[in-house]
Amino acid sequence: MLKEKDSQKGTKRLPPIRAIRHKCLECAGNHYSLVRNCDSLECPLYVYRLGCRPKEGNTK
């Protein structure tokens, strides 16, 4: 799981949805617009790329 800097303790574990968001940003070169407009539909993280869980029945 990805870790995030915590000023008091060094690093801390990220919740899975936030770790996925960080991974997507890393993949897109830290460009938020590229994450939002991602065209990698085959990526298993695609539905989680915006940092939230997909709604039920959403196939995109």
pLDDT of residue 19: 93
pLDDT confidence bin for 52, thresholds 50/70/90: confident
In SS3 terms, 10-48 reads as EEEECCHHHHHHHHHHHHCCCCHHHHHCCCCCCCCCHHH
User: Whole-prediction pTM value?
Assistant: 0.69
Parse the chain into domains and list their residue ranges. Answer: 3-38
Which whole number is the average pLDDT over 1-8?
Answer: 56
| pLDDT at residue 10 is higher than 80 | no
Residue 57 clears pLDDT 80, i.e. is over it:
no
In the chain, the N- to C-terminal Cα span, in Å, equals 25
